[in-house]
Amino acid sequence: MKAVLFFLSLVIFATASCSSGDDLVAAEREVAKFRQSYEAEAFEAIYDQGADELRKVQSKQAFATLLEAIKRKLGDVTNTKLVSSNVNYSAGGTVVTLQYATVFEHGKGSERFVFRLAGKKALLGGYTVNSADLLIR
């Protein structure tokens, strides 16, 4: 029995590790789309294309107001580097978290994107920016 459980665990791990790369690529692709929409100030479109979790946490207006404030205070992204990524597989679905060190036009900060995978598509479930420059400006 233990051998069967061990074998099943290996199969699940192997399957998950093969698709984790694909899941990361899908999430990174959505970050690029997010950045394009952010630059175009299409904040409501970002919200509309997000996951249900995003809409449960805040309204479209609150989300748009948040991104407007970030854009006004920090500006567009000038440089960014992925510093960590995590793919979490659970019975509730697959969640990909990406953490970036980002330089904006008027400051720097840490961005965190959380995506829920729906098939091969990554849907934005959460976005946060931590930046002292947000408080100063």
Looking at residue 97, its amino acid is T
Cα–Cα distance measured from residue 76 to residue 106, given in angstroms and rounded to the nearest whole number? 8
pLDDT of residue 17: 42
Cα–Cα distance measured from residue 109 to residue 90, given in angstroms and rounded to the nearest whole number? 30
pLDDT tens-digit map of 6-59: 333 433 444 444 478 899 999 999 999 999 999 999 999 999 999 999 999 999
Distances (CA, A) of 23 to 54, 84, 113, 117: 19, 14, 13, 8
**Which of 2-16, 17-31, 64-78, 97-111 is predicted with the least confidence, judged by mean pLDDT?**
2-16
Looking at residue 80, its amino acid is T
User: With 80 as the cut, is the pLDDT of residue 105 above it?
Assistant: yes
Share of the chain above pLDDT 90, in %: 78
Cα–Cα distance measured from residue 8 to residue 11, given in angstroms and rounded to the nearest whole number? 5
Predicted TM-score of the model (pTM): 0.85
What confidence category does residue 1 fall into, taking pLDDT thresholds of 50, 70 and 90?
Answer: low
Average pLDDT over residues 86-112: 96
Under CATH, what is the fold of the domain 2-136?
Nuclear Transport Factor 2; Chain: A, (3.10.450)
Across all residues in the chain, what is the average pLDDT? 88
